[in-house]
Structure 1
Amino acid sequence: MSKSIPKEQGLDQTLNILKEGYEFIPNRTKKFNSNVFEIRVLGGKRAIVISGKEAAELFYDNEKIERAGTLPKRLVNTLFGKGAIHTTTGATHKDRKSLFMSLMTENNLEYLRKLTRNYWYTDTERLQMKEQTNVYLESTLVLLKIGFRFADVPFDTPERMEQYAKDMNAMVNSFGSIGTVYSGYKKALDARSRVEDYLEKQIKLTRKGKLNPEAGSGLYEFSHWKDMNGNHMDARLAAVDLMNTIRPLVAINRFISFGVLAMHEYPGERAKVAKDENSYAYKFAQEVRRYYPFVPFLPGKAKTDFTFEGYKFDKETMIILDIFGTLHSESLWNNAEQFYPERFEHWDGSPFDLIPQGGGDYYTNHRCAGEWMTIIIMEETMKYFAREIQYDVPAQDFTVDRTKLPGQVKSGMIIENIRNNFDRRQ
């Protein structure tokens, strides 16, 4: 006989989710003393929330859970794009995912590492000319340039590149109004349309032979790829998915500002990252991804009837995986509320506990194909801020409000008086 699932009272918890943000699910797992509970969301739709490592293993079991069709339509339209790979399932998803994974070659990832080093280093002169730098905003533009160059997409005018950086940021910020009517929806749609228009144009020029991107680059592969039926993707759809190789890189601006904050607030971290003994920059990057708020939760639905931890789940039931709470679970992470990169010295690399960008297998699940890219960019960017420059940190609001979606440093993380970290007289 199955156990009774604890229920949160109320006709709809959507507004409470927006009010409590990342703390909504952890507050209720504590309240019910259970990693499984039931809520109503998105107009009163029944959903079962699950949290923890075993919950992640369940969520990424393709025989029991599917993701297609579970995200709010407006969020799909703004964050991922109409027809994006995130909305597919089964053979179609695996087929499209193989295209994304084809970009993750050893040489391509090493190229990304070099790009990250070079673009930050060449940005130093620009930083030195500014009275103050907002790390969050500056990262947005630098990451867009890295993303375009990695995909071998030609740069537009400087003014339009600045606009595209703002556009990418608007798309990511649209997550903060999930499931509600909000004024920023059209703004986010317009932002997506501008970037998609530009990328679609580059794809069409490539297919006509008027552009010749490097083989192995995003623009080349998305322009020439054929699906399992031997057909090219529609140029607009190809632009949508090409965007989904660049937009996630721009979203790393949050991790970068978090990382600079951590080096400021936790004594000794900056020096350890600069020395990078025993790959410390890697451990630091992983702890930033674990500790600070990024993705709060992810939706799916039951493909069949099944039982989990004694609770019965019916087919078609909405399932919500608690990402943030899993990353802060004391049963998984000793002293989970402590920022402690050394915890990754003996981490077993499980695909179901460190899940800030999804879990499971890269090739068959919805785990973000760009996770490797995120870690590389974070390693090199943190080493840049720790090694290559000196800067001062003025008084500002360092708050990271866990009740706000998506998470970010309140001030954006302001630095000033930037100078090279070496003495040319020696």
Structure 2
Amino acid sequence: MSTIKRDKGLDNTLKAMKEGYLYTTNQRKRLGAENIFETRGLGGKRILVLSGKKAAETFYDNDRIERSGTLPKRIVNTLFGKGAIHTTTGKKHIDRKALFMSLMTEGNLKYLRELTRNHWYMNTHRMEQMGRVNIYRESIVLLTKVGTKWAGVQAPESKIEEIATDMDIMIDSFKGLGSKFKGYRESVKARHRVEDWLEDQIIQTRKGKIHPPEGTALYEFAHWEDYKGNPMDSRLCAIDLMNTFRPLIAINRFVSFGLHAMNEHPISREKINNEEDYAYMFSQEVRRFYPFVPFLPGKAKTDFNFDGHDIDKDTFLLLDVYGTMHRDDVFENANEFRPERFIDWDGSPFDLIPQGGGDYYTNHRCAGEWMTIIIMEETMKYFAGKVSYDVPEQDLSIDLNSIPGYIKSGFIIENVRENIDRK
């Protein structure tokens, strides 16, 4: 039995944060470790990093891997919330995941598409008047409007900017891994503000004082009962309610990356406008190519063998998400941006994993992944065909050493004008 190669060091957390999305790929290459290597992190904890399609298949095998208790407390306290569905396992997870998936009806997804399309169109005049538009910032505000409206949440126009800012602070909480920083405290405060606001709406809905439409997230979560017939605690209900539309707001990162890709590959604009399904393929390639989630944690539920190595029960594991999607043995010429690769893609749940892998109903794959694709399709169609704009000189580099990853300038456009055929 061969020995698992190891990245030496008592605690490599800071090293991993410094190298960001490239840490796992760099270490695999340096160690000559194709699919697995050992490191230390999070206070010296022994961690096995698994990479590749077979690693994803293993990681999303519920008989081998569990996720409960593996997320860093800082991330739970800021990004997901205490007791959120992301922290559950077994029957409890499947029961609550079914609630999330019940929102993925044909009508709800169609409505989301219409909301996205209409909100971008209605935002045209605003962007025309702005001069320069930071797409990163503009899209987080717009997607906050879309997400809260879709969820049935009452969000007055005067509160949108505040909610958008708080959501962005929470999503940035990855920066707190392994260190004490002022931003962590700000993230916790931001989460508490949004939780308070949503919990009040849960309580008011249950009292019959506000009336969200049936089928919306607010209505369904407020009236839901678990498999024992118990309603969800109002605070926990607010946390999971937020988790129905917080991921939609995080799509602002994909939006800015999408415009970056369109700018780097101008032919894609024409193809999005003229080729059926190209907006879908383009959106999938943006999700694959650009940095979103670097890795995901888990723990061995039992003893098992992976890639010829015995892994003991309770061993802490990381799935190499970004690195897996940039391996040539998973996607041919993986470091090239090529939407056409999805023409004949088989839809595997274990290679395109920017928002998790496996089955939607029983695994931790993001229930909102379909929604991400819908929002990206409509947004890319809007910027490819409904408006024209100029891209001024700016720093368009992407810092893969930062988690989350960003375009340094946020992607700025100017001179936005509506495309109108006046012939």
TM over 0.5: yes
Equivalences, count: 422
Q: Which residue of 2 aligns with 1:340?
A: 338
Equivalent position amino acid for 1:33 in 2 = G
Secondary structure class of the residue paired with 2:414: strand
- Per the TM alignment, residue 93 of structure 1 is displaced from its structure 2 partner at its CA by 0.3
Deviations 1:296-343 (A, max 9, x none): 000000001111111010111001000000010011111111100000
Matched, 1:388 2:366: no
Question: Structure 2 CA distance, aligned partners of 1:32 and 1:352?
Answer: 24
Instruction: Pick which of 220-229 and 168-177 moved more.
Output: 168-177
Equivalent position amino acid for 1:293 in 2 = P
Equivalent position amino acid for 1:6 in 2 = K
Matched, 1:136 2:133: no
Residues 74 and 176, structure 2, Cα contact 8 Å, conserved in 1: no
- Per the TM alignment, residue 181 of structure 1 is displaced from its structure 2 partner at its CA by 1.3
- Taking structure 1 as the reference length, what is the TM-score of the superposition? 0.98
Instruction: Pick which of 29-38 and 365-374 moved more.
Output: 29-38
Q: Which residue of 2 aligns with 1:224?
A: 223
Q: Which residue of 2 aligns with 1:252?
A: 251
Deviations 1:26-85 (A, max 9, x none): 001112222100000001000100000000000000000000100111110000001100
Q: Which residue of 2 aligns with 1:193?
A: 192
Matches within 5 A, 1:78-157: 78-157=78-157
Equivalent position amino acid for 1:387 in 2 = G
Q: Which residue of 2 aligns with 1:21?
A: 20
Q: Which residue of 2 aligns with 1:238?
A: 237
Structure 1: segments with no counterpart, 5+ residues: none
Matches within 5 A, 1:329-368: 329-368=327-366
Among the aligned pairs, what percent are the same residue?
60
Structure 2: segments with no counterpart, 5+ residues: none
Secondary structure class of the residue paired with 1:298: strand
Question: Structure 2 CA distance, aligned partners of 1:303 and 1:170?
Answer: 33
Matches within 5 A, 1:155-304: 155-158=155-158, 160-275=159-274, 277-304=275-302
- Per the TM alignment, residue 157 of structure 1 is displaced from its structure 2 partner at its CA by 4.2
- Per the TM alignment, residue 278 of structure 1 is displaced from its structure 2 partner at its CA by 2.8
Decide which of 367, 372, 395 is 2:370's aligned counterpart.
372
- Taking structure 2 as the reference length, what is the TM-score of the superposition? 0.99
Residues 100 and 369, structure 1, Cα contact 8 Å, conserved in 2: yes
Deviations 1:133-172 (A, max 9, x none): 00000000110110011011112342x2101101100111
- Per the TM alignment, residue 124 of structure 1 is displaced from its structure 2 partner at its CA by 0.7
Q: Which residue of 1 aligns with 2:59?
A: 59
Equivalent position amino acid for 2:168 in 1 = N
Deviations 1:210-236 (A, max 9, x none): 111111100000100000110110111
List 4+ stretches of structure 1 deviating above 3 A. none
Residues 10 and 40, structure 1, Cα contact 8 Å, conserved in 2: yes
Question: Structure 2 CA distance, aligned partners of 1:391 and 1:53?
Answer: 39
Q: Which residue of 2 aligns with 1:413?
A: 411
Equivalent position amino acid for 2:119 in 1 = Y
Question: Structure 2 CA distance, aligned partners of 1:174 and 1:247?
Answer: 13
Question: Structure 1 CA distance, aligned partners of 2:354 and 2:8?
Answer: 29
